[in-house]
Amino acid sequence: MDTTATRLTFRDATEDDVDVLVALVESAYRGESSRAGWTTEADILEGRRTDPEGVLDVIRSSDSRLLVVEQDGGVVACCQLEHRGGHAYFGMFAVSPTLQGAGLGKTVIAEAERQARAAWGVTEMHMTVISVRDDLIAWYERRGYRRTGRMTPFPYGDERFGVPRRDDLRFELLVKELA
């Protein structure tokens, strides 16, 4: 196991975290800063990935948790967990681009799965991934997620999700059975 994991702390986000979390998510997926890591969407989407209102909605929702991951006093990752009956939804996952590729993401997703099982007794974790993100989908498959082939359309024209640079974007549902 990566020794970085021993210095991580996990906590629920508060309203005071909103600006830091928006900046983290944006840096992991959009713009030039995202190119420092491998999760960038800069070649397929422009514009924002999230906004303060979206982050606040997750923090304030009674069925969601937004986990903040800190290392040495700084926020290095986050993820959303949402209770949806027999399963949890995993979203808003971001790791600081300069820390990607060192095992931090694996540690965060494993802890998110553990917390979802413990808090809600769920038996599955669901997520949606842009279907053209083969490298990202492969990473999730190595963590035990399986492609379902169930697609939902990308919300073209709704800039809250970004401005597409191509016309073939869809979301695919990935599912993992939780032990």
pLDDT digits (tens, 9 = 90+) for 106-151: 999 999 999 999 999 999 999 999 999 999 999 999 999 999 999 9
Give percent of the chain above pLDDT 70: 97
Tens-digit pLDDT profile for residues 41-55: 989 999 888 999 999
| Spatial CB neighbours of 43, under 8 Å, sequence gap ≥ 6 | 165
- CA neighbor of 49 nearest in space, from 130, 137, 113, 127: 130
33 pLDDT tier (thresholds 50, 70, 90):
confident
Which pLDDT belongs to residue 67?
Answer: 98
Positive or negative torsion for Cα 128, 145, 2, 103: negative
The token pair at 101 is 């590729």
Q: Taking the CA of residue 26 as centre, how many other CA atoms within 13 Å lie in the half-sphere pointing to its CB?
A: 18
State whether the Cα torsion 161-163-167-169 is positive or negative. Answer: negative
pLDDT at 2: 46
Instruction: Please state whether the predicted TM-score (pTM) of the whole model is above 0.95.
Output: no
